[in-house]
Amino acid sequence: MRILLTHSPEARALYYGERALAGLRKLGEVKLHEGPAPLEGEALITAAADCDVIVSYRQSPGPAALFERLPKLVAFVRCAIDIRNIDVAAASKAGVLVTQASAGFVASVAEMVLGFMVDLSRGITRSTMDYRAGRVPKAVMGKELRGSTLGIIGYGAIGREVSRIGKALGMRVLVNDPYVKDVEQTSFDELLRRSDYVVPLAVATAETENLMNAAAFAKMKPGAFFINVSRGNLVDEQALEAALDAEGLAGCAMDVGRAPDQMPTPRLAARRDVIATPHAAGLTPAAIEHQSLETVAQAGEILKGRAPKGAVNAGHWTRKVKG
């Protein structure tokens, strides 16, 4: 079996690792992408021409042309949960298996939410930047998490862990997720009105595009904080900026945005009332190894002709690795 790993050298070091690479090499011949730019389009098709499996970084899309023009390709294995830039229908038509990784970053992202809440509440980053600029920051009154209200929009694995942490710290936790039945629900508008910290963790879909828009920000409690570690698609950034300008929000923290590779938008990230990190909430050794090693396990099952855990179109998979 010949495997193409689309991660650039930098991405490979951060998002794949030596243990996973060694695991792939035990399964077959591994072809590495050595360029600095993401491997996509014609370059990806050319690189994968003689490969059975593509193990893909999130910046390598899987368009219809890829599956149509690679007759030897058996599977497109995504080392991430997000497969929105893979044309699964085209892959299915071609008989190519598509897989995704499961969430190995639940604890990592939830801990980042906690860090953001503490930083926003105490002005840690703001004071640090003042000191580094040669200014002595003014001492201001902070806000304790205990007794505050945390609003979670979307109650998947990360939402549940953020809820657990919040409750352990003595916070009141409100949840809104119309697709979940095993938790007490608060309406979207009521959650916005009552929460001191609003954390959207909904899945990015057409339905949740710009979920946090001007109307939503207007309903938020004056002096509340907004934290986004999910997807930039959930937020109307012009509306967020307007809410910050109007000082309705006390501050914002973001690990994602609408810049390339789901990064925070630089204009927003540069604001004094915003804390931003470069899509790094899930970037810990444990989180990365979970997903990268899962792709190794998936490739192993594909080699045996079995649809692995994480397959999204197993019923349409007709191409198999040949002897």
Residue 150 belongs to a domain: yes
Q: Are residues 180 and 226 in the same domain?
A: yes
Output DSSP code: residue 298.
Answer: H
Q: Are residues 114 and 218 in the same domain?
A: yes
Q: Which residues contact 292 (CB under 8 A, 6 or more apart)?
A: 15, 16, 17, 19, 20, 79
C-alpha 84/C-alpha 61 separation (Å) is 9
Q: What is the pLDDT of residues 121-136, one digit of tens each?
A: 999 999 999 999 999 9
Structure tokens at 29: 């011949």
Query: How many structural domains comprise the chain?
Result: 2
CATH of the domain at 253: 3.40.50.720
Residue 322 belongs to a domain: no
Q: Are residues 57 and 116 in the same domain?
A: no
pLDDT at 323 over 80: no
Structure tokens at 202: 């909904």
C-alpha 317/C-alpha 306 separation (Å) is 10
Q: Are residues 251 and 115 in the same domain?
A: yes
Q: Are residues 54 and 125 in the same domain?
A: no
Residue 71 belongs to a domain: yes
Q: How many CA atoms lie within 13 A of 103 on its CB side?
A: 14
Contact 214, 240 (CB under 8 A): no
Closest residue by Cα to residue 125 from 261, 277, 232? 277
Query: Which domain does 171 fall in, by range?
Result: 106-276
Q: Are residues 171 and 250 in the same domain?
A: yes
Q: Are residues 12 and 81 in the same domain?
A: yes
Q: Are residues 55 and 192 in the same domain?
A: no
Q: Are residues 242 and 126 in the same domain?
A: yes
Q: Are residues 17 and 31 in the same domain?
A: yes
Q: What is the pLDDT of residues 287-318, one digit of tens each?
A: 999 999 999 999 999 999 999 999 999 999 99
Q: Are residues 10 and 27 in the same domain?
A: yes
Mean pLDDT over the full length of the chain: 96
Q: Are residues 120 and 65 in the same domain?
A: no
pLDDT at 185 over 80: yes
In the sheet that holds 224-228, the strands lie side by side as: 172-176, 149-153, 197-200, 224-228, 249-254, 274-276
